[in-house]
A and B are shown apart, each in its own frame.
Chain A
Amino acid sequence: MKTKMMMLITATVFAMINFQALAQEKYSLGYKMEKGKTYRFKQDNKIETTQEMGGQEMKMTTDESSTIKYDITDVSPAGLMTLIYMYEDSKLRMKGMGRDTTMDMQNLKDKKTRAEMAKSGKIIKETPADTTKNAKASPSLNMFASASMPSLPEQAVATGEKWQGITSDTTHSGDGKVIYKKNIGYTLSGKEKKGAHDCLRIDFKGTLELSGTMKQMGMDIAMEGSGESSGSFWFDAASGIMIEETTVTAIEMTMAITGQQQMTIPMSQKVSSSKILVE
């Protein structure tokens, strides 16, 4: 009886090991954008904002459409990429509160930011690359105006395996700064074709927090908020580039204004966004 049990255990363990071996095709993932090359991403954001003041809800929908260019200026032997990114165009349409306005965001256009990006997608450093205003000058777009890409794991991963990406992005605006912290769990879900690219589909879900202060027009603005973000991105592991990303983010925040006005404004935002490699 004992022998039979041992055999059964041995067989089970053996089967499991074999199953793992067969199932586990491990991928070492890393961004490998090439020096001298230009990459363009089309980015679309639909932002549904609900503000509340004195029991009155006010809704606004913002559609933002941009093309972001990444010029890879250097790649170190360790794979650290130096790039310059800029908005080639950006259009906003804001609808709600009795207004329907379309804006060509000229203040964002052609403003260059230099960034150093690790193979994992982590932004090591970001600095304005020209003497004019930083591309991250518009607070409403700060959440999206970043060179950052979804986080990739340091170690090789197989289908079904998970990793965590914790990022903190600080944006300076109006004599203050806002810190966005993301804690995202990623899962390698499998292979999928996206256009001509053989991709790995990576699903993600996590939390984000923002807090900070700004000064504008003599007003001190403090903001805090938290929310959830989920979505998927498709990564071409062979060429080391993200092909597409779709994300839905829901965030609830409060703005407190002091100075020439006194206000507290609770806000909810639902942001549906996509970023697609076009070139």
Chain B
Amino acid sequence: MKKLAGRGIFVLVIFCLAIAGESQAQFTSGNGKKLITPEFLSTQINYLASDSMKGRNTPSPQLDSAAAYIAGKFREWGIQPWNGSYFQEFPICQDQLGDTNELTVIMNGAGFQLSIKSDYVPYDFSSAAKVTAPVVFAGYGITAPEYNYDDYKGIDAKGKIVVIFRNEPQKDDSTSVFMGREETKYVSLKEKMKIAVKHGAAGMLVVNGPLQYSSLKARGSPWASLSKIIPKDAAPLHLCGDSDDQIPAMHIGEEVVKLLFGSVDSLKRLEERIDKDLSLASFELKGVKVSMHANILSTVYKVRNVVGYIPGSDPVYGKQLVIVGAHYDHVGFKKEHKTGEDYIFNGADDNASGTSGVLSVAYAFSRLKEKPKRSMMFILFAGEEKGLFGSRYYTTHPLHPLASTVAMLNLDMISRNDPDSLYLEGARQSPDITNIIRQENKKTKFKLVVKDSEYLGGSDHYYFYKHNVPFIFFFTGLHKDYHQVSDNPDKSDCGKAARVSRLVFYTAGKISNETIRYSITPLDSDAPLSE
């Protein structure tokens, strides 16, 4: 018995050493399985995708509740806030047209007041401002050194209102430097506004070229107050102050053209002149001033990214950051519905699953005795469904410098389809991290499917990629419940979500304990995928 007892003690000591060894080794498959379980994922998904969360729309009280829940979990597990707060608050705006818009053409002291809707319509990317200034015609409003083309050459647009054509010259000419039927970036009115601002313009009036457009009708942006059918809440949300290059901008119609240019034919001749051989036709309209007021009223909503932080243990590499993120918002609920009808877009897979995955990885890191060398940040983004607002805001207002952010692992929709398959987006752009995932996948044994940039702009990794942060997007594929009220928790495969989360945990563990930096292929220069 004594011998047996001694043997038993020996076994017990070995066992304890093994356990201790496991918690020191940290990122073993046993550790992952113990900390990141289907039950853990199920609990989180069930809560976040419950009917009480009403689909976690951005903005909504339920989104705020979800944020508070996530922050509460971070607090409970001892995960630190960033600079005293678990929240990164940011404003989103919804714009409506006010009542005091104005467009007046002043010629030789006489003012001709134009009518909104029939003669002019402000654009939704216009600044809300009033300006009175002389007028210059600046062709297509393009300065394109790469095409040796500059509509602003020979004119002084500083402090003036520019009148420009929509689109770009030689639109249907396949031999044109403007690539003919292929569009260049200069087609974008926002790009034209940037160029106008660079030249010091105070306002921008946009007109349809009579050669390119059959109608010279002013359309601008669709405003609820100018329409019989557009409801007020159709106005798109956007990040407030998302552009520094803003001046008042309006789309003008035929009456304004006649006042400024004498006739539509005169404008047509200018267009012909440019389109013929890219001759410049820009000039100042002598004795003409325009007074324009784009009265755009913004309603501001505050929403929050949720942030948890684990400082790195290494004094040098602790200044580098690994981000594991997911969006926690979804698309809300149907306003009109019949009694008894399922009307809530619960978003269990999209993206209670990814949010729960991040929570599980955060929890697993929080349980480790020895913290990784590099710092870890867990971010749950708001506003993804409305236009990647949370991640866009974070990357323009990073809490930690992006230059020392070594990787971003994004989890979005990780609980559906074939239990063994997992899509990786970003393998081509971030090959080093992909190789780490392949190595770590020996523990999770997924069939990895590399997508050919199919979802590159489809989730929060996009803005990190835009800022050259190496990234990988973990995704288990689309399904028939995608953005349907039927994306319910009972359809989520929590076993699969836990397995994906474990792979993220192992990958993040490996990255956070390395000292090397990872390669990233910058946007616009992607090579074809080989896998």
- B520 in the interface (beta carbon within 8 A): no
Q: Shortest beta-carbon distance, B444 to chain A, in Å?
A: 33
* Chain A binder among B34-42, B75-83, B224-232, B282-290: B224-232
- A223 in the interface (beta carbon within 8 A): yes
Interface of B is mostly: loop
Asked if residues B222 and A256 are in contact (CB atoms below 8 Å), the reply is: yes
Asked if residues B190 and A222 are in contact (CB atoms below 8 Å), the reply is: no
Chain B contacts of A260 at CB under 8 A?
331-332, 345, 385, 483
Q: A217-B484, A224-B228, A250-B214 are in contact. Are A55 and B233 (CB under 8 A)?
A: no
Q: Shortest beta-carbon distance, A260 to chain B, in Å?
A: 4
Q: A55-B189, A55-B193, A222-B234 are in contact. Are A266 and B222 (CB under 8 A)?
A: yes
Q: Which residue on A lies nearest to B193, using beta carbons? A: A55
Chain A contacts of B334 at CB under 8 A?
218, 259
- In chain A between 202 and 237, which residues have their CB closer than 8 angstroms to a CB of chain B? 211, 213, 217-218, 220, 222-224, 228
A262 touches which of B123, B214, B233 (Cβ 8 Å): B233
Measured in the bound complex, the distance between the Cα atoms of B236 and A56 in whole Å is 15
0/1 interface trace, chain B 437-477, chain A, CB 8 Å (1 if under): 00000000000000000000000000000000000000000
Measured in the bound complex, the distance between the Cα atoms of B191 and A261 in whole Å is 25
- In chain A between 230 and 279, which residues have their CB closer than 8 angstroms to a CB of chain B? 250, 252, 254, 256-266, 270
Asked if residues A254 and B227 are in contact (CB atoms below 8 Å), the reply is: yes
Measured in the bound complex, the distance between the Cα atoms of B213 and A57 in whole Å is 14
A263 touches which of B214, B228, B234, B332 (Cβ 8 Å): B234
Asked if residues A264 and B234 are in contact (CB atoms below 8 Å), the reply is: yes
Q: Shortest beta-carbon distance, B484 to chain A, in Å?
A: 7
- B335 in the interface (beta carbon within 8 A): yes
Asked if residues A56 and B229 are in contact (CB atoms below 8 Å), the reply is: no
- B485 in the interface (beta carbon within 8 A): yes
Q: A55-B123, A59-B183, A266-B219 are in contact. Are A256 and B234 (CB under 8 A)?
A: yes
Q: Shortest beta-carbon distance, A8 to chain B, in Å?
A: 43
Asked if residues A224 and B193 are in contact (CB atoms below 8 Å), the reply is: no
Q: A54-B124, A55-B123 are in contact. Are A264 and B230 (CB under 8 A)?
A: yes
20 CB contacts below 8 A, A to B, read A54-B190, A54-B238, A55-B123, A55-B193, A57-B166, A213-B229, A217-B483, A218-B485, A220-B335, A256-B224, A256-B230, A257-B234, A259-B331, A260-B345, A262-B94, A262-B233, A262-B234, A263-B234, A266-B222, A270-B214
B187 touches which of A57, A222, A259 (Cβ 8 Å): A57
Chain A contacts of B217 at CB under 8 A?
252
Q: Shortest beta-carbon distance, A55 to chain B, in Å?
A: 4
A258 touches which of B166, B231, B484, B485 (Cβ 8 Å): B231
Give the top 5 A-B pairs by smallest Cβ distance, nearest first. Answer: A260-B331, A55-B189, A256-B234, A55-B190, A264-B222
Chain A contacts of B221 at CB under 8 A?
264, 266
Asked if residues A259 and B335 are in contact (CB atoms below 8 Å), the reply is: yes
Chain A contacts of B190 at CB under 8 A?
54-56
Chain A contacts of B187 at CB under 8 A?
56-57
A56 touches which of B189, B222, B231 (Cβ 8 Å): B189
Chain B contacts of A259 at CB under 8 A?
331-332, 334-335
B386 touches which of A56, A222, A262 (Cβ 8 Å): A262
Q: Shortest beta-carbon distance, B140 to chain A, in Å?
A: 13
Measured in the bound complex, the distance between the Cα atoms of B236 and A261 in whole Å is 8
Chain A contacts of B320 at CB under 8 A?
none
Asked if residues B167 and A57 are in contact (CB atoms below 8 Å), the reply is: yes
Measured in the bound complex, the distance between the Cα atoms of B221 and A188 in whole Å is 40
Asked if residues A252 and B331 are in contact (CB atoms below 8 Å), the reply is: no
Q: Which residue on A lies nearest to B208, using beta carbons? A: A268
Q: A264-B221, A264-B235 are in contact. Are A56 and B188 (CB under 8 A)?
A: yes
- B178 in the interface (beta carbon within 8 A): no
Q: Shortest beta-carbon distance, B147 to chain A, in Å?
A: 18
Q: Shortest beta-carbon distance, A173 to chain B, in Å?
A: 16
Measured in the bound complex, the distance between the Cα atoms of B344 and A218 in whole Å is 9
Q: A218-B345, A222-B229, A260-B332 are in contact. Are A54 and B125 (CB under 8 A)?
A: yes
Q: A55-B188, A222-B231, A258-B233 are in contact. Are A252 and B219 (CB under 8 A)?
A: yes
Measured in the bound complex, the distance between the Cα atoms of B361 and A216 in whole Å is 36
Asked if residues A218 and B386 are in contact (CB atoms below 8 Å), the reply is: no
Chain B contacts of A254 at CB under 8 A?
222, 227, 229-230
Q: Shortest beta-carbon distance, B392 to chain A, in Å?
A: 13
Q: Which residue on B lies nearest to A248, using beta carbons? A: B214
- B321 in the interface (beta carbon within 8 A): no
